[in-house]
Amino acid sequence: MGRKKKKASKPWCWYCNREFDDEKILIQHQKAKHFKCHICHKKLYTGPGLSIHCMQVHKEAIDKVPNSLPNRSNIEIEIYGMEGIPPEDIKEHERQKTGGGKASDSDDDEPAAKKKATSALLGPGPSTVTSGILPTPMGPVPPGMYPGPMAMNPMMPHFMQQRMMMPGMRPLFPAASVSVSTPSKPTFPAYSNATISAPPTTSTSSELRENGDVKPPAANTCPLVTATGAGSKIIHPPEDVSLEEIKARNAKFRPKPKPDAPSTPVSAPPMIAPSTSQAEINFQVAAHMSAAVAAARQQAMRRPMPMGMMGMLGQVRVPVPVSMPVPVLPVMPQFNLMRPIQPGMLLPGGMMPMGAMFPGGVPGLPMMQPRYR
Amino acid sequence: MTVTRVAESRTEFKLKSLPEDAISSVKFAPKSNQFLLVSSWDCSVRLYDVSANIERHKYNHELPVLDVCFRDAVHSYSGGLDQTLKMYDLNATTETVLGDHKGAIRCVEFAAEVNAVLTGSWDGTVKMWDSRVPNCVGTYNQGNERVYTMSIVGEKFVVGTSGRKIFVWDVRNMGHVNQRRESSLKYQTRCIRVFPNKQGYVLSSIEGRVAVEYLDSNPEVQKKKYAFKCHRIKESGVEKIYPVNAISFHSVYNTFATGGSDGYVNIWDGFNKKRLCQFHRYNTAVSSLCFSHDGSALAIACSQLDETEAEDPKPDDTIYIRYVTDQETKPK
């Protein structure tokens, strides 16, 4: 009992069980997270204070402390920092600390506490204060902070999985991930091996392609933009393409047909530059089509064609439906042709065509490749 | 510390004779609070005299313009869906085509350090241009990913692309990429801005989240990086998460403003992890922000960008000029 120098003497928040290094920070946390009025954002000092404020100023009754654990939501108890915590809860907390044994290292239990807080937050409670008043350090945030699906989107096109290493897949190659230098703490543990993949020696010249590799939008579409979980909704179209690209698909932003160009799709459209790369771009657009079809059938179908496509069919007056079979046909030859010349695509993290650097494929990974064929 | 909600007031006004379609970018002149360049989806680039609240110049591209920047008080560069980089002499009102990309030009930045223009395109490359004559100095592949955002301060040049990639360059030596990173945020990169003190950059994603990151790869420094949630609105039990479209730094205080599709502008103190203030809600999404060179004025462009089903009637595209106070922008 009497020994005070135990680690458990760190101040902690009764409402969410989170520990702090300093009681001052704890009080700041409580004011920002638990004692802030959801209507006028005024920060009060205690639960009863908040309740009285809301009653008097906004004529609203508050029955729970915002962002608190379900069993700690009592607004009647006057708690300020570590003052006012019921003695039995202090004992209980201490017992958990010591009983938990090794888990008591500060960094470890903070996320756990936070996770609980978050799940409590997602519940039906009147939790309101979520916009980042107190940004938390990213390091220790557990995947639980993201209550949504962390896994790769199942709708991801097949060929993509073959062509490139997606971040989520990295753990499949333990050997490879070791070689990746990760100078910083991973932000998302699920991405841990993917944070920074900078082989600094790469010569840029090998990557330069003067003929402009227009990557068709969906070909490198990561997971589609999906909601992070129940109770939240990302205000963004489902496709993982920038808002500008989506807007640019609007028919009115298509290049105007030049008077000298006859209106046949065969002639070089004004927007796509040299005719030499025409065929290549054509192929890539076609590849994109298959991706779009496989990946996001519903969404992609309804949307007008992407920019690249517009350019290609610049002279076509009526928008061609995406399901049109013609552009899909050349897909297979394209990929069979392309893959051998871009072994770098399989490089963990890099996603850079490093063919010039490693003509024989990626060192350390050669036998992995067949798996992806 | 305290969240101030400021009502519309004399410190803020709306520009007159605005573009007829969404505003893609607003940029203050390098050394004055008076002039503002505006690029728009109505294919125009306009120069406003902010103090007099009049439109001074206007020139057009064939297709919507996605970005514009100043070289000096009298020259601007712009590019957009027509894939063409134009230089415009505001005194002589003459335009010069400097060259083109194979895809739409998404970003245009002037690199004073090397007196060059940088353009980032959906063709997956960044090009560097001689600032005076049509001469492309170099083409730099960005991992074949479409360039979504670029920022340059001094020699530090950061490019954000599709696929959540980030490329850090040194404009004095474009021979190789300095760092190749993956965004620490889970969702599509929306905007990146380098700290005026060049220590790091701020990155925003479509999922109401902003990350503060450091360029120094020393683990001690990297530990300081963090991210936070913002631009989210809880409505009837559902939390709506909005894209963070714009970031602009206050060049003096190293604080920054973020603008989201929720129509809010927040000002943050990135080093102390504090929100300094939030302005009133604007009529629609904030699409672009720019602090003036001394940080006394903030241009706020409001345009809906089809984040959701198009609203009917479409909200007006507007630009507000707000004279900010130290209280709103200075770390406490």
pLDDT tens for each residue of A111-151: 434 444 443 334 343 434 444 444 444 444 444 444 444 44
pLDDT the model gives residue B276: 87
Task: Please indicate whether residue A367 or residue B158 has the higher confidence score (pLDDT).
Answer: B158
pLDDT above 90 (res B25): yes
Average pLDDT (B214-224) is 88
pLDDT the model gives residue B238: 86
Quick one: pLDDT band at residue A215, thresholds 50, 70, 90? very low
In angstroms, rounded to a whole number, what is the distance separating the alpha carbons of residues A247 and A239?
Answer: 12
DSSP, res A74: B
pLDDT tens for each residue of B121-153: 999 999 999 877 788 888 898 888 899 999 999
| Closest residue to B226, CB basis, from A135, A197, A272 | A135
Average pLDDT (B299-311) is 80
Candidates A24, A41, A45; CA nearest to B275 is A41
pLDDT the model gives residue A147: 41
pLDDT above 90 (res B194): yes
For chain A, positions 95-134, list CB contacts with chain B under 8 A.
124, 128, 130-134
Residue in B105, B122, B161 to test binding to A, most A beta-carbons within 10 Å: B122
In angstroms, rounded to a whole number, what is the distance separating the alpha carbons of residues B28 and B68?
Answer: 10
| Closest residue to A132, CB basis, from B41, B66, B229 | B229
pLDDT tens for each residue of A218-257: 434 445 666 566 678 888 888 888 888 888 888 888 776 6
Percent of chain A at pLDDT exceeding 90 = 3
Chain A residues near residue B231 by CB distance under 8 angstroms = 131
Residue in A36, A195, A201, A215 to test binding to B, most B beta-carbons within 10 Å: A215
pLDDT above 50 (res B214): yes
Chain A residues near residue B234 by CB distance under 8 angstroms = 128, 130
pLDDT tens for each residue of B226-262: 999 999 988 888 888 899 999 999 988 889 999 999 8
Least confident of A70-74, A288-292, B31-35, B209-213: A288-292
Q: Kindly identify which residue of chain A lies nearest to residue B145, measuring between CA atoms.
A: A215
Percent of chain B at pLDDT exceeding 70 = 96
Buried b vs exposed e over A97-130: b needs ≥16 C-beta within 10 Å?
Answer: beeeeeebeeeebbbbbbbbbbebbeeebebbbb
pLDDT tens for each residue of B252-298: 888 999 999 989 999 999 888 888 888 888 988 999 999 999 888 99
pLDDT the model gives residue A19: 87
| Closest residue to A208, CB basis, from B41, B139, B210 | B139
In angstroms, rounded to a whole number, what is the distance separating the alpha carbons of residues B105 and A267?
Answer: 24
| Closest residue to A138, CB basis, from B145, B227, B307 | B227
pLDDT the model gives residue A336: 40
In angstroms, rounded to a whole number, what is the distance separating the alpha carbons of residues A215 and A200?
Answer: 24
Q: What is the mean pLDDT of chain B?
A: 88
Asked if A353 has any chain B CB less than 8 Å from its own CB, the reply is yes
pLDDT the model gives residue B304: 87
Average pLDDT (A60-82) is 85
Question: Cα–chain-centroid distance for residue A334?
Answer: 30
Give the angle B59-B61-B65 at the CA atoms, nearest 5°. Answer: 100
Q: Is there a contact between A179 and A238 (Cβ–Cβ < 8 Å)?
A: no
pLDDT above 90 (res A75): no
For residue A274, count other CB atoms closer than 10 A to its CB.
Answer: 11
Question: Cα–chain-centroid distance for residue A146?
Answer: 9
For residue B109, count other CB atoms closer than 10 A to its CB.
Answer: 22
- Per the CB < 8 Å rule, is B188 touching A225? yes
Q: Any residues with CB less than 8 A from the CB of B233 and at least 6 apart, and which?
A: B239, B240, B242, B262
Candidates A66, A46, A175; CA nearest to A128 is A66
In angstroms, rounded to a whole number, what is the distance separating the alpha carbons of residues B247 and B244?
Answer: 8
| HSE-up of residue A308 (Cα within 13 Å, Cβ side) | 29
Question: Pairing between strand B5-6 and B274-279?
Answer: parallel
pLDDT above 70 (res A341): no
3-state secondary structure of B257: strand
Average pLDDT (A165-171) is 42
pLDDT above 90 (res A60): no
| Closest residue to A243, CB basis, from B5, B229, B306 | B306
pLDDT above 70 (res A302): no
Q: Kindly identify which residue of chain B lies nearest to residue A210, measuring between CA atoms.
A: B139
3-state secondary structure of B127: strand
| Closest residue to B81, CB basis, from A237, A253, A281 | A253
| Closest chain A C-alpha to B171 CA, distance in angstroms | 14
Residue in A24, A185, A234, A338 to test binding to B, most B beta-carbons within 10 Å: A234
Asked if A183 has any chain B CB less than 8 Å from its own CB, the reply is yes
pLDDT the model gives residue A342: 42
Chain B residues near residue A137 by CB distance under 8 angstroms = 226
Bond before A143 cis per omega within 30 degrees: no
